[in-house]
């Protein structure tokens, strides 16, 4: 299988501008289409929803603006917006979850779950990077090992947030669809604890957001692979020698080519 | 003594209750039960033909508040319930007999009325230390409950304590208290939770039972849907203020005087299932939110532990040394994240790790590929 | 010698067991045992002191709200909160209404059947009953037709063979000596009182949302917002009118039914003015100030102690002298520390472990030489005390409080009897009736003050300065006193780190129904039963008469406090 590693892609999707960069060794590089557009849509959709949901959710917990006229319908609107944003949030989360299965090499669950020893070694190297011991991050086309695990954790917590939210929604609406799905949950965990979890996770998501942005900026600035760009454009510029074997296959697949032997 | 066949209708007629009054009463009952008019004839027939069913009211680990609440019943009037609707043969708080005379009533009812009488239980049943935390006539509450409930046609558990142990069962539950359906498993129980139960609902269940010889539709906690099917928040007279965003922010403030929503003061109306705002209390005079105080969700399962603290929206979080509110924990989390990234960024800026150009592309040591690297 | 057991004692609140020795037709000794334990003070530990009243209120649903008021007072004392005048008025109204309603229910529904033979009412002549009723009261419902209606209602129940609540009574007992007409009148009034009590107590619904367990107390005031111009406020001009009607109706009921009935029945049971005397020591904390709650001189019912039936001296109350003994109670104190000579502990440092050591159920007799009750034995200065309406009236009489003295002297004159008849079973009943009348007269003045404040825009009803727990000291302790319908009530609270560290209530019925202490001194019930003649050991009606005259409330009385409370200082006493 080492053979395929040596075979370069025929034509890079874009002309690399790498040569002009003083810190990079001159060499062949490719623009890799890492983040498919459904993934980017899901990402920004989730960001937007989390923003709206956090504000409206906090207001619902502690209505810090007091309506002065009965025409404001303030809490009514805020709750409506919260509920609509929650539906959108679920849709975006569903897209992301589909990509665990139907996405490309860098989006799949298999690439993110730390099941191989190599991923654990990488994780340790990344810890060293985050604690300023190692100067550069481990070169990686997709998520690095620590990012993968933390994103999976956050997705899991988002799932918890969705379920607790649905429980509370059903608490009010007693819908015929939701009741069989989540109606049993308040019998196991009392409704107040469900509310508490739902509320506490708000802060977990915002704290995650802060750390996430900070770490992306840091990594992007150090490795100069266009990480920050990539979540807008989908592309990262990767030196060919950093491509792993699976990356080659994925790039080929993304161009509709078969894997070359 | 017990052989006569006098019906309820006769005894009502004997004491001068006209048919007109009877129709009025039955209609009121139908209204409470949310049954259509066509059941009126059936209700009338049941109330006038039946020989009075026997009822025994057993108080265990109680505060007698539920008995007192029953004494406040207005529709039907308490005297009618006790004397005319039912033969209310045992109820320690108001019965004439005491001691042996009272204990004999229980034995007689369990034997002679087997399978036909109704038991009302008030208060929790202690199970720790062989149940010695409540004895009546030298017998434990559990012993009496088992005897009386298992021979009854149906058991009605009134109040939070009989429902699920209530206050007595709150942490640390010193006496091992349980609700009736847990202490005496396998019996037919209808739960009328609340602290206390609302006599309007309990009377409606009794009349429903007298009419149809069956219990009304129940929810997952065996509580009648007509009383516990909706949350208080949806029925609350202050709901419009909630939707408009008008909240009481301090007791006695302008919003409080104007009857604004008590959500910020810890009201548990959005959590609580009960028809309190509809039927209200004491002959429809008022209810707690009308009196300016938040709801404590007294009809909810294990409400003492689950719904307290009553003046905060959410439970306190344990395990942080002292109890912390959810907002404090959230603020702490956000603060730590901000401080963390700031320090990280600052350290990187002030003391950048010198990295040689060669090092930029050094891959992680790969245990699988290092072996073949010489190639 | 025969051992009589009455268990359950019915027509009381809670689970009470009386064992007594009968010799030569008289009781030679008696033991009072509370047979139910819940441990509410253990449950209160660690909770928010601002909501302690919601929990403490559930100590009892019959004397509902009395524990709420004592609890908020204790926390307000600990946190040094002054309560606005309106809140005091509303609390007085709620508590006063409770007292009147509770006393009426006690007399007619819990106590009357000890004196009134329901079955005998069937023999009465409605016309003669009517003239009897009209001769003693201005009550409108007194026609022969009315009494005939009541009689036929009772007859219908009796004829049906299903006697309901009356099925197990001691009907025909030789101790029932009233003429049939008095019995019929009392049965009629039993039903009238049943209807009246639920109507009158709507004042609790107005001021507390519901009864039992009104829900409008706050540490720092009341939740019943006042505003003369806001229809959605809780206390509005419209609700003032409604309450004024209710309290006027209460006074009318007490004057037209309760007082005349007591005065009609009591002289027909003259023996009971000498029976059931009991301890002769009386304790009242005093309560119901229209002004400064911390100043006992403003109290409607004065604070004080009368020892050994000596009406010439009223001793001051020093709450430091209150201790609780567990020598005959199913508890253990941890070893050593702070025990006084009777083996008791002050409630502020009280601590107890429940430990049942009685016989296994089912049992026939308790081992009365060992521990035999879930009640502790409170003592004042080592002495057992009686509390309740009689204690309040005796202390008020001995203090020379004009309203109380006039009221009692009037009754004594009507009965042509010396003040010593107060120390008896009937004395307790009379004291309760007189107290109801005093209170019913007072209620309207509180409504009027509230109305006055409302009209003048004086609407403050809550003091917010200490609502936020961050404004509290790290540790604080306080005590709250209240004169509940059944007597002197005290709650002690210790707050540390914004939570309850220790909570203890010393409750009227614990004083009265408690067992013996380590010196073997009897409690009030046990002492009051001595020398009572019992005609039929199988139907001990006489025991019920004396016990019921105390109006027992056993759920209130059974208490235990958490084991952590050893090192506290005794709280400040107001």
Share of chain B above pLDDT 70, in %: 79
In the block, residue with structure tokens 């109350």: C317
Q: Is B274 on the interface with A (CB under 8 A)?
A: no
Rounded to whole angstroms, the Cα distance separating A189 from C508 reads 40
Partners of B360 on chain A (C-beta within 8 Å) are: 23-25, 136, 223
In this complex, do A136 and B327 lie within 8 Å of one another by their Cβ atoms?
A: no
> How far apart are alpha carbons B364 and A138 in whole angstroms?
6
DSSP E strands: which ranges in B10-141? 54-59, 87-91, 118-122, 125-126, 135-136, 139-140
Three-class SS state of B88: strand
B341 touches chain A (CB under 8 A): yes
Pairing of strands C217-218, B189-192: unpaired
| Banded model confidence at residue B356, pLDDT cuts 50, 70, 90 | very low
Collect all residues of chain B within an 8 Å Cβ-Cβ radius of residue C204: 282
Across the interface, whether the CB atoms of A67 and B246 are under 8 A apart is answered yes
The residue in chain B having the minimum alpha-carbon distance to the alpha carbon of residue C228 is B257
Which chains have 3+ CB pairs within 8 A of B?
A, C
Please measure the distance between the N-terminal and C-terminal CA atoms of chain B and give it in whole angstroms.
Answer: 109
Nearest to A192 among B314, B333, B362 (CB): B314
pLDDT at B207 over 60: yes
Instruction: Specify the DSSP class assigned to residue C464.
Output: G
Residue of A nearest to B338 (CA): A210
A76 close to A119: Cβ distance less than 8 angstroms: no
Q: At a CB cut-off of 8 Å and minimum separation 6, what does A173 contact?
A: none
Whether B39 has a pLDDT exceeding 90, the answer reads: no
* Closest CB from B65, B291, B309 relative to C212: B65
For residue C50, the model assigns a pLDDT of 96
What is the distance of C-alpha C567 from the center of its chain?
A: 32
**Contact in structure between C361 and C305 (CB atoms under 8 Å):** no
CA C185 to chain centre: 26
Q: Which residues pair with A235 in a beta bridge?
A: A33
Surface-to-core class of residue A3, CB atoms within 10 Å of its CB (0-12 exposed, 13-18 middle, 19+ buried)? exposed
Provide long-range contacts, Cβ within 8 A and 24+ apart, for B104-112: B104/C168, B105/B56, B105/C167, B105/C168, B106/B56, B106/B144, B106/B147, B106/B148, B109/B54, B109/B56, B109/B148, B110/B147, B110/B148, B110/B151, B112/B2
Chain C nearest-CA residue for B290: C209
Peptide bond before residue B133 is cis, with ω within 30 degrees of 0: no
What residue in A sits closest to B331 (Cα-Cα)?
A203
Q: Which residues of chain B lie closer than 8 angstroms to C55, CB-CB?
A: 167, 304
Is B247's Cβ below 8 Å from some Cβ in A?
Answer: yes
pLDDT value for B45: 54
Nearest to A67 among B245, B334, B365 (CB): B245
Which of C118, C127, C109 lies closest to C153 in space, CA to CA? Answer: C118
The alpha-carbon radius of gyration of chain A (Å, integer) is 22
Q: Say if the Cβ atoms of B64 and C555 lie within 8 Å.
A: yes
DSSP characters for C411-422?
HHHHHT--GGGG
Q: Can you read off the two tokens belonging to residue C370?
A: 């060992």
Whether C304 contacts C317, CB under 8 Å:
yes
CB C557 within 8 A of CB C514: yes
For an interface test with A, which of B244, B316, B371, B373 has the most A Cβ atoms less than 10 Å from its Cβ?
Answer: B244
Is the ipTM here above 0.95? no
Query: Measured between CA atoms, how close is B207 to chain C, in angstroms?
Result: 17
Residues B176-213: b if buried by 16+ CB within 10 A, e if exposed: bbbbbbbbbeebebbbbbbbbbbbbbbbbbbbbbbbee
Neighbours of chain A (3+ CB pairs under 8 A): B
Q: Any chain A CB within 8 A of the CB of B313?
A: yes
CB B167 within 8 A of CB B65: no
8 Å CB contact of B72 and C204: no
With CA atoms as reference, the chain B residue closest to C61 would be B65
Cβ burial, residue B76 (10 Å; 0-12/13-18/19+): buried
Are C481 and C285 in contact, with CB atoms under 8 Å apart?
Answer: yes
Neighbours of C419 (CB within 10 A): 15
What is the value of pTM for the model shown? 0.89
Q: Do chains A and B touch (3 or more CB pairs under 8 A)?
A: yes
**What is the per-residue pLDDT for A190?**
86
State the pLDDT at residue C524: 94
Thinking of the domain A30-254, which architecture would CATH place it in?
A: Up-down Bundle (1.20)
Quickly state the pLDDT bin for B320 (edges 50, 70, 90): low
| C210 Cβ contact list (under 8 Å, min separation 6) | B281, B282, B286, B287, B288, B291, C204
DSSP characters over C359-387: PPSS-S---TTS--BSS-EEEETTB--B-
Q: What is the pLDDT of residues A184-215, one digit of tens each?
A: 898 888 899 999 999 999 999 999 999 999 99
Tell me the shortest Cα–Cα distance from B240 to chain A, in angstroms. 8
- Residue C128, token pair as written in the block: 């003669």
Task: Please compute Rg for chain B using Cα positions.
Answer: 30
Q: What pLDDT is stored for residue C436 in this prediction? A: 96
**Chain C residue with minimal CA distance to B128?**
C356
DSSP track, B303-363 = HHHHH-STTSSSPPBPSSSS-B-HHHHHHHHHHHHHHHHHHHHHHHHHSPPP--GGGGGPP
d(CA B180, CA B57): 13
Q: Is the dihedral of CA C336, C340, C346, C351 positive or negative?
A: positive
Mutate to test the interface with B, among C210, C463, C470, C560 (most CBs of B within 10 A): C210
Q: How far is B346 from chain C (nearest CA, A)?
A: 35
- What is the pLDDT, as a whole number, of residue A85? 97
Region B99-127: mean pLDDT is 93
Do chain C and chain B touch with ≥3 beta carbon pairs under 8 Å? yes
Please indicate if any CB of chain A lies within 8 Å of the CB of B368. yes
Phi, psi of A18 (to 5 degrees): -65, -35
- The residue behind tokens 């029976």 is C275
Q: Mapping DSSP to helix (H, G, I), strand (E, B) and coil, where does residue C117 land? A: coil
Q: List chain C pLDDT tens, one digit each, 574 residues.
A: 789 999 999 999 999 999 999 999 999 999 999 999 988 888 898 899 999 999 999 999 998 899 999 999 999 999 999 999 999 999 999 999 999 999 999 999 999 999 999 999 999 999 999 999 999 999 999 999 999 999 998 888 888 888 888 888 899 899 999 999 999 999 999 999 999 999 999 999 999 999 999 999 999 999 999 999 999 999 999 999 999 999 999 999 999 999 999 999 999 999 999 999 889 999 999 999 877 777 888 899 999 999 999 999 999 999 888 888 888 988 876 644 344 444 566 666 656 678 888 999 889 999 999 999 999 899 999 999 999 999 999 999 999 999 999 999 999 998 888 889 999 999 999 999 999 999 999 999 999 999 999 999 999 999 999 999 999 999 999 999 999 999 999 999 999 988 999 888 889 999 999 999 888 999 999 999 999 999 999 999 999 999 999 999 988 888 644 333 332 233 333 3
- Asked if the Cβ–Cβ distance from B83 to C153 is below 8 Å, we say yes
- Would you place residue B357 in the very low, low, confident or very high pLDDT band (cuts 50, 70, 90)? very low
Domain residue ranges of chain A, discontinuous segments joined by +: 30-254
Asked if B345's CB is within 8 angstroms of A73's CB, the reply is no
Nearest Cα neighbor of C423 from C259, C569, C277 is C277
Confidence band of B1 (pLDDT split at 50, 70, 90): very low
**Token pair belonging to C198:** 């639920």
∠ CA C364-C368-C369 to the nearest 5 degrees? 135
Dist. CA B226–CA B34, nearest whole Å: 7
Structure tokens at C487: 């007597």
All residues of chain C having their beta carbon less than 8 Å from the beta carbon of residue B315 are none
Residue of A nearest to B351 (CA): A132
Report residue B24 as tokens. Answer: 């009025």
Partner B contacted by A130 (CB < 8 A): yes
Give yes or no for residue A258 having a pLDDT over 70.
no
- Of chain A, the percentage scoring pLDDT greater than 70 comes to 87
- Can you read off the two tokens belonging to residue B184? 């005496």
**For residue C488, which of C286, C235, C185, C193 has the smallest C-alpha distance?**
C286
Task: Find chain C residues with C-beta within 8 A of B241's C-beta.
Answer: none
pLDDT at B254 over 90: yes
The reply to whether residue A214 touches residue B306, judged by beta carbons under 8 angstroms, is: no
CA distance B345 to B348: 5
Q: How far is CA C269 from CA A173, B279, C141, C528, in A?
A: 64, 45, 25, 17
- A206-231 b/e with 16+ CB inside 10 Å = b? bbbbbbbebbeebbbebbebbbeebb
Hunting for tokens 């008019």 — which residue is that? B37
CB contact under 8 Å between B306 and A191, yes or no, is: yes
Neighbours of chain C (3+ CB pairs under 8 A): B
Nearest CA in chain B to C117: B96
pLDDT tens readout for residues A18-74:
444 444 455 677 888 889 999 999 999 999 999 999 999 999 999 998 887 767 789
Cα distance between residue C376 and residue C174, in whole Å: 36
Q: Which residues contact C299 (CB under 8 A, 6 or more apart)?
A: C286, C287, C288, C289
B343 close contact with A: CB closer than 8 A: no
Q: In what order do the strands lie in the sheet with C2-6?
A: C2-6, C16-23, C26-34
């Amino acid at each position: 299988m080492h053979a395929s590693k040596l075979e370069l892609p025929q034509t890079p999707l874009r002309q690399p501008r790498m040569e002009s960069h003083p810190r990079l060794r001159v060499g062949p590089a490719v623009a890799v289409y890492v983040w498919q557009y459904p993934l980017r849509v899901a990402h920004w959709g989730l960001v937007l929803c989390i923003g709206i949901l956090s504000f409206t959710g906090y207001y619902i917990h502690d209505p810090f603006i007091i309506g002065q006229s009965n025409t404001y319908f303030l809490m009514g609107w805020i709750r409506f917006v919260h509920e609509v944003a929650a539906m959108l949030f679920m849709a975006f989360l569903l897209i992301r979850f589909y990509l665990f299965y139907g996405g490309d090499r860098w989006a799949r669950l298999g690439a993110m779950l730390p099941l191989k020893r190599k991923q654990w070694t990488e994780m340790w190297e990344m810890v060293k990077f985050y604690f300023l011991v190692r100067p550069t991050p481990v070169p990686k086309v997709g998520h690095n090992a620590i990012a993968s695990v933390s994103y999976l954790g956050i997705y899991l917590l988002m799932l918890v947030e969705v379920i607790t939210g649905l429980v509370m929604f059903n608490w009010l609406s007693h819908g015929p669809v939701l009741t069989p799905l989540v109606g049993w949950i308040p019998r196991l965990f009392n409704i107040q604890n469900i509310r508490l979890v739902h509320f506490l996770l708000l802060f977990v998501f915002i704290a995650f957001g802060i750390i996430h942005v900070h770490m992306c900026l840091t990594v992007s600035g150090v490795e100069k692979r266009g990480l920050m760009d990539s979540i807008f454009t989908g592309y990262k510029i990767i030196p060919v020698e950093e491509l792993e074997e699976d990356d080659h296959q994925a790039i080929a697949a993304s161009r509709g080519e078969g894997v070359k032997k | 003594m017990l052989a006569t066949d006098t019906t309820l209708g006769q005894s009502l007629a004997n004491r001068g209750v006209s048919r007109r009054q009877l129709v009025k009463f039955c209609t009121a009952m139908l209204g409470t039960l949310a049954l259509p008019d066509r059941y009126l004839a059936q209700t009338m027939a049941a109330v006038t033909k039946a020989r009075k069913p026997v009822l025994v009211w057993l108080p265990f680990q109680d505060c007698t508040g539920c008995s007192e609440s029953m004494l406040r019943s207005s529709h039907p009037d308490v005297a009618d319930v006790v004397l005319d609707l039912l033969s209310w043969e045992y109820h320690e708080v108001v019965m004439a007999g005491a001691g042996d005379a009272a204990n004999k009533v229980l034995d007689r009812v369990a034997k002679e009325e087997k399978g036909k009488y109704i038991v009302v239980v008030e208060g929790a049943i202690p199970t720790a230390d062989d149940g010695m935390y409540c004895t009546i006539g030298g017998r434990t509450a559990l012993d009496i409950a088992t005897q009386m409930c298992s021979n009854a046609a149906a058991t009605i558990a009134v109040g939070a304590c009989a429902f699920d142990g209530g206050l007595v069962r709150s942490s640390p539950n010193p006496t091992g208290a349980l609700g009736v359906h847990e202490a005496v498993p396998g019996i037919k129980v209808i739960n009328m939770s609340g602290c206390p139960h609302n006599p309007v609902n309990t009377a409606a269940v009794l009349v429903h039972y007298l009419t149809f010889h069956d219990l009304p539709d129940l929810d997952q906690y065996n509580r009648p849907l007509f009383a516990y099917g909706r949350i208080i928040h949806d029925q609350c007279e202050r709901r419009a203020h909630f939707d408009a965003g008008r909240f009481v922010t301090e007791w006695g403030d302008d919003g409080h005087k104007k009857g604004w929503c008590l959500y910020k003061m810890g009201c548990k109306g959005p959590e609580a299932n009960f028809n309190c705002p509809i039927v209200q209390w004491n002959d429809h005079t008022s209810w707690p939110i009308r009196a300016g105080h938040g709801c404590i969700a007294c009809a909810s399962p294990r409400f003492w532990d689950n719904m307290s603290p009553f003046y905060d929206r959410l439970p306190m979080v344990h395990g942080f040394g002292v109890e912390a509110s959810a907002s404090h924990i959230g603020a702490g989390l956000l603060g730590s994240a901000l401080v963390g990234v700031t320090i990280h960024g600052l350290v990187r800026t002030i003391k950048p790790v010198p990295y040689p150009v060669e090092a930029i592309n050094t891959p992680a040591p790969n245990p699988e590929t290092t072996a073949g690297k010489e190639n | 010698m025969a051992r009589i057991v009455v268990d359950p004692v019915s027509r009381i609140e809670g689970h009470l067991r009386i064992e007594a020795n009968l010799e030569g037709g008289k009781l030679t000794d008696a033991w009072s045992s509370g047979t139910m334990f819940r441990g509410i003070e253990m449950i209160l530990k660690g909770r928010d002191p601002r909501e302690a009243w919601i929990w403490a209120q559930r100590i009892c649903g019959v004397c509902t709200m009395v524990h709420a008021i004592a609890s908020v007072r204790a926390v307000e004392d600990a946190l040094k909160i002054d309560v606005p005048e309106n809140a005091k008025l509303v609390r007085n109204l709620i508590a006063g209404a409770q007292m009147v309603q509770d006393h009426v229910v006690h007399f007619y529904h819990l106590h009357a059947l000890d004196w009134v033979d329901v079955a005998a009412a069937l023999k009465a002549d409605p016309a003669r009953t009517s003239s009897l009723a009209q001769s003693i009261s201005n009550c409108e419902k007194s026609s022969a037709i009315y009494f005939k209606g009541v009689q036929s209602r009772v007859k219908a129940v009796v004829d049906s063979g299903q006697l309901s609540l009356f099925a197990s009574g001691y009907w025909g007992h030789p101790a029932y000596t009233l003429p049939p007409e008095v019995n019929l009148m009392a049965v009629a009034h039993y039903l009238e009182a049943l209807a009246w009590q639920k109507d009158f107590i709507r004042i609790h619904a107005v001021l507390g949302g519901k009864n039992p367990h009104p829900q409008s107390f706050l540490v720092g005031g009341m939740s019943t917002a006042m505003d003369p111009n806001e229809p959605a406020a809780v206390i509005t001009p419209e609700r003032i009118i409604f309450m004024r009607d209710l309290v006027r109706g209460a006074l009318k009921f007490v004057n037209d039914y309760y007082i005349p009935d007591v005065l009609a029945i009591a002289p027909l049971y003259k023996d009971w003015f000498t029976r059931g005397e009991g301890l002769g020591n009386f304790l009242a904390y005093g309560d119901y100030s229209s002004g400064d709650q911390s100043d006992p001189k403003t109290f409607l019912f004065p604070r004080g102690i009368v020892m050994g039936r000596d009406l010439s001296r009223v001793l001051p109350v020093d709450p430091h002298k209150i201790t609780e003994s567990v020598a005959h109670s199913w508890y253990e104190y941890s070893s050593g520390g702070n025990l006084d000579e009777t083996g008791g502990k002050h409630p502020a440092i009280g601590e107890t472990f429940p430990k049942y050591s009685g016989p296994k159920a089912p049992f026939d007799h308790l081992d009365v030489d060992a521990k035999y009750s879930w009640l502790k034995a409170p003592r004042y200065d080592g002495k057992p005390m009686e509390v309740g309406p009689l204690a309040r009236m005796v202390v008020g009489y001995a203090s020379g409080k004009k309203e109380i003295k006039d009221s009692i002297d009037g009754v004594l004159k009507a009965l042509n009897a010396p003040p010593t008849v107060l120390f008896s079973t009937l004395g307790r009943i009379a004291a309760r009736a007189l107290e109801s009348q005093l209170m019913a007269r007072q209620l309207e003045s509180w409504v009027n003050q509230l109305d006055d404040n409302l009209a003048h825009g004086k609407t403050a009803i809550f003091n917010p300065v200490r609502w936020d727990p961050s404004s509290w000291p790290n540790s604080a302790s306080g005590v709250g006193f209240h004169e509940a319908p059944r007597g002197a009530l005290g709650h002690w609270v210790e707050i540390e780190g914004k939570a309850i560290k220790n909570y203890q209530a010393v409750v009227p019925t614990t004083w009265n129904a408690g067992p013996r202490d380590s010196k073997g001194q009897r409690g009030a019930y046990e002492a009051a039963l001595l020398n009572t003649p019992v005609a039929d050991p199988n139907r001990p009606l006489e025991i019920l008469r004396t016990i019921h005259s105390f109006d027992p409330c056993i759920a209130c009385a059974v208490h235990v406090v958490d084991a952590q409370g050893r090192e506290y200082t005794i709280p400040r006493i107001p």
